[in-house]
A and B are shown apart, each in its own frame.
Chain A
Amino acid sequence: MNRSIFRPGSIPWRSALKFLLPVAIIIGWEVLAIILDNQFILPRLESVFAVLINPFSGELTFGSGSLVDNAIISLGRVIAGFLVAAVLAIPLGIGMGRSSIIHELFDSFLQLLRPIPPLAWVPLALAWFKIGLLSMVFIIGMGAFFPILLNTLDGVKGVKKTWIEAAEILGAKERQILSRVILPGAAPTIWTGLRVGFGIAWMCVVAAEMMPGTNSGLGYLIISSYNFGQVPVIIAGMVVIGLIGIGFDYLFKIVEQRSFAWRELER
């Protein structure tokens, strides 16, 4: 009986498994840092922690602003770019999903733009919008736009024909079909698009903040710390980026489970 606890597949063993690699990496890191003894290549864990446990301090980052300040600035930019992308992509996706004319009109153009990575827009963004919030919003928006659009399109196309017909027979007008059938029917897939889009937007902001002339945000913090030779701050910044990314993904997932449980049950 006791032996079963240690058998692969039993719960305690399995839940320990996912901590195995992080713990090994942390130990390996510390050992390697001691052996190398070069804080510009691999700083000791303690020095990274020292930055992380003082997230409100501007001193440890040598005047580049505290972790929290920069994180808030980055988040603000992401939310702005993400909202712009969502406001454009969701109606367009619904239109393309519902009307073959709109689909024909936009499809080839969008297919052409889609493979272009958001960061390839950096030079044009700088030329058009100069350095500042607008060009960052543009790049972030570019990143978030396509996942939201494609998922919205998928969601609208996935709305069952009998739902629409049943609604028509129950007396729904075209507008009511849109708001009471298409939108709620496609909502879980649209939400997935928003989740993926937010993740990409978050990656884009960090890259956008590395553009020349930027003087705030987590991306800026990392680049400026590199210039000051502050590797612990670079790593601390990366950890914060990762944690915020996980945190938002988790929030999106919670809403998904609460609001769209019906899709899980759908056969």
Chain B
Amino acid sequence: MTLKIDHLSKRFVKGGQEQVNSLSDISFEVEDSEFICILGPSGCGKTTLLRIIAGLDSPSSGQVLMNGSVIDKPNPKLGMIFQDYSLFPWRTVNGNIAFGLEMQGTKKDRIQATTEKYLSLAGLSGFGNSYPNELSGGMRQRVAVIRALAVEPVVLLMDEPFGALDAQSRNKLQHDLIDIWEKTRKTILFVTHSVDEAVFLADRIVVLSSRPGHISEIVPVQQPRPRDRTSVEFAKIRRHVLELINQNIPVQ
């Protein structure tokens, strides 16, 4: 699998003629099974970037190429997890996980086997018949992750998935995500505004700066996992990334 983000730009027309540059000339390539974090302050267009990669929004110029073909509409090969729980509240956890497979016309017994497999992968066995609204925020987001995984995408796009969670659940889910990633070897693009989260998770951090959003640096993180947030190396990378972000904040 190769995923190539090729000179992407996005302009919004605001009011009559005034154009707002949201993203400017974003290019990078993602390797197979890589964990990429897209990090930037709010308003840098990181969510827009992810939505374009998902095929939900279209770029003003440039393109997203997956194995050489252009992504211009949603594609089950590119799974997405939204920040607000996009689970279907009228479906049980099982029903949510089964959704994508039902759309493909998969046979019932296969759906059931897949559902059970992913429930146990996410540590949610026994919750299959619960409704999303009966679950905690952290559990809902786990369901969203395995719902996306159930259709076996090649790439997982995650838009600040843990942003609405408390620190403790967030921490736990970060560990669990690494765990799932190591088991399934998906390629992950993970949008966040938390430096700590990015350094903890990523193989490489794409640091965006704002207005218009452009890549200020791609920072590789070579620490072995599981990473120790209190280690000197962790702090060093963290400081470097923070400096990158701070130098781009305009003085008011």
Partners in one complex: yes
**A residues at B contact (CB < 8 Å):** 160, 162-163, 165-173, 176, 180-181, 184-185, 187, 260-263, 265-267
**Cβ of B123 to closest chain A Cβ, rounded Å:** 22
| Residue from B86, B100, B147 in contact with A165 in the complex, judged by beta carbons closer than 8 Å | B86
- CB neighbours (8 Å) of A184 from chain B are 88, 90-91
**Number of A-B pairs, beta carbon distance below 8 Å:** 71
Dominant secondary structure of chain A at its interface with chain B? helix
Q: Which residues of B contact A262 (CB under 8 A)?
A: 89-90, 131-133
Complex formed: what's the CA distance from A262 to B75 in Å? 29
* Cβ-defined contact, B86 with A160, below 8 A: yes
- B76 pairs with A171, CB closer than 8 A: yes
- Asked if residues B89 and A170 are in contact (CB atoms below 8 Å), the reply is no
- Asked if B167 CB lies within 8 Å of chain A CBs, one says no
Given that A169-B78, A171-B100 are known contacts, is A162 also in contact with B86, CB under 8 Å in the complex?
yes
Q: How large is the interface on B (under 10, 10 to 19, 20 to 34, 35 or more residues)?
A: 20 to 34
| Contact flag A165-B82 (CB < 8 Å), given A170-B100, A172-B103, A173-B103 | yes
A185 near B90 (CB under 8 angstroms)?
yes
Bound complex: CA A259 to CA B160 (Å): 32
Are A166 and B90 within 8 A (Cβ)?
Answer: no
Whether A162 and B88, one on each chain, are in contact in the complex, defined by CB atoms closer than 8 angstroms, is no
Q: How far is the CA of A187 from the CA of B89 in the complex (A)?
A: 12
Which residues of B in the span 33-56 have a Cβ within 8 Å of any Cβ on A? 54, 56
Is B84 among interface residues, defined by CB-CB distance under 8 A? yes
* Across-interface contacts of B100 in A (CB, < 8 A): 170-171
Chain A: minimal CB distance from B51 (Å): 9
* Chain A, Cβ-Cβ closest to B159: A162
How near does chain A come to B70, taking the closest CB pair, in angstroms? 17
The list of the 3 closest CB pairs from A to B, nearest first, reads: A265-B133, A170-B100, A162-B86
In the bound complex, how far is the Cα of B102 from the Cα of A126, in angstroms? 51
Chain B residues with CB below 8 A from A168, complex form: 56, 74
The answer to whether A165 touches B89, judged by C-beta atoms less than 8 angstroms apart, is no
- The CA of A165 and the CA of B144, in the complex, are separated in Å by 13
Residues of chain B within 8 A of A180, CB atoms compared: 99, 102-103
Contact present for B99 and A265 (CB under 8 Å): no
Say if the beta carbon of B151 comes within 8 Å of chain A: yes
Among A166, A173, A185, A265, the residue within 8 A (CB) of B82 is: A166
Which listed residue, A167, A176, A187, A267, touches B90 by the CB 8 Å rule?
A: A187
Complex-state Cα separation, A163 to B84, whole angstroms:
10
> A153 vs B86: C-alpha distance in the bound complex, in angstroms?
21
Chain A residues whose C-beta falls within 8 Å of the C-beta of B151 in the assembled complex: 170-171
Contact A265 B76 (CB under 8 A): no
With both chains docked as a complex, state the minimum distance between the C-beta of A254 and any C-beta of chain B, in angstroms: 18
Considering the chains assembled together, what is the distance between the CA atoms of A39 and B187 in angstroms? 85
The contact sample of 10 A-B pairs, CB cut-off 8 A, is A166-B80, A169-B74, A169-B79, A170-B100, A170-B151, A171-B74, A171-B103, A260-B90, A265-B89, A266-B133
